[in-house]
Structure 1
Amino acid sequence: MAETDHPTPPPHRVIIAGASGTIGRAVVREFVARGAAVTALLRPQGKAGRALPELAGAHGITVALDDAAGLAAAFAKAQPEVVISCIASRSGGPKDADKVDRRANLALLAAAKGVGAQHFILLSAICVQKPLLAFQHAKLAFEAELRGSGMDYTIVRPTAFFKSLSGQLKRVKRGKPFLIFGDGELTRCKPISDDDLARFIADCAADPARRNAILPIGGPGPAISLREQGAMIFELLGKEPRYKSVSPGLFTKAEKLLALGAGWSDWFAEKAEYARIARYYATESMLVLDPATGTYRADLTPEFGSETLRDHYAKALAAL
């Protein structure tokens, strides 16, 4: 997918849910830079808007997403033309996924329709194309509601984020091996930076051609494996690569054991789901899935942006 230089003027009024999150902050910053009137929805228990410099220039409203009256008041005040949801369950557990990925988004959609908003942009995930997990089913359930709502929509399904691929930087810099699953070549992804994804989302709000569409999106450059991510970090540190392999089968065994208690304990049910999530990410690529062959294909995964994972790693390592 080709990049565009602001194809049309941005909408004047935008409301962004999940504004205090990593992606949400970048989206707020991008819309403010484009001259939009931005309302940032903040969780009551979340970070205060004034403590987040990325939210400068936006009007922050603190409201719980399960507070229908509070949401209605916030939307009535903002009168958004475009609603953007960057919310996502933190744990991925069944209850949290249903509460956030489905029900909270439904509440946002109802509030949007209540004020006559024109366009709803949903930040989803590319992994929903092969749904095996509770949070994936919750996301798909809302996607279906959104598509049938009668409102113009854009569903953005990004590949991996830079942040999700940065968890081992500290341990490698301290001299520990880079953890891989199997031989480290089981999966590949085309990660996209926060700022590039925010620009893509802002372009979706401005480009009529991106309405009523489901858009997978990745960052620039070739798809990268877990082993290659590790090699990149070692190269930047000037060290010889050292790897430690973990078998994905360990997650399968853990899931089976924990599932024995899932019928009578929410704790066991959640832990079993976490094991399933770990196995999924250890074995499934974050690329477009070819429905004809059932294989993940980098060539079918659109690219956008200019920031590379290597650049991100270099900056992050220098800051450690």
Structure 2
Amino acid sequence: MTETLGTTGEFGLIAAVTRGLSRSEDVLVGPGDDAAVVAVPDGRVVITTDLLVEGRHFRQDWSSAYDVGRKAAAQNLADVVAMGARPTALVVGFGGPADLPTAWAVELNQGLADEAELVGASIVGGDTVQSDKIIVSVTAFGSLDGRRPVLRSGARPGDELAFAGRLGWAEAGYAVLTRGFRSPRTVVDAHRRPQPPYADGPRAAIAGASSMCDVSDGLIADLRHIAEASQVVIDVRTPALAVAEPLQAVAAATGLDAMTFVLTGGEDHALVGTFEPADVPDGWTVIGTVAEGNENRPAGTVTVDGELFASPAGHAHFTS
């Protein structure tokens, strides 16, 4: 007989998912008390949270529980490093039906823990509840280690635009999966488990990035956040954006445009930032420029090769 959440119970599940969790030196009190205690060396905490809902953000026939755990952790850890911070801890909220196999929840937690371990962070607590569908909520914490946070509002005219990581891979994987296929495997895996360039966030902060964010909703959509917050115009140069062969293969098979994957695809959690030309760090690729607004291109605008981008720029919650 398969053990389910209903037979395991809340406290049995908590015991199962917390058993054997590692604890970093930032964690002073971990799971098992009313709340965790995490060290804050410089008195400031970076905090972010994201929600994954079954049927909206993942499907069990597309992704394993382990994949969902890796993805849920990654999208939060990427937000922390996009501030130039070092991730330290995660708190997880989980809801699921009573007939969901307990093993699914345990596997999910292993994915969360393994992704957190990549950056030296720990799962320090959370909550569980019965729900009609699976819901995973992750809150991540980070330390700036004495550095200033890198905000979206710091881009300046004359800066160069650069990115680190991958663009368009997860979107290409989504295009494949929605058509009932499972290859190319590289892009399908990218949709299931993003690979944010974690080390490049703090590295960019140390190098002097003037602004930064992670690409969760699409390159153009997320660059608009920077352009609007900084009141500048950002121009993306497509010749600087290499389109990987797997994306070209998906585009050819589906009749879609590979560059559109790169410009509008989200959930790869690449990092995009602005720098003085001499400050762009190794591992970052320059793909555009920052300028002042004018009558033709008002501040807050993002252009592609000097022209306004006509297609939808990326994902927007509650409208797509």
Q: Return the TM-score normalized by structure 1.
A: 0.29
Question: TM-score, structure 2 length as denominator?
Answer: 0.29
Q: More relative contact order in 1 or in 2 (CA 8 Å, sep 6+)?
A: 2
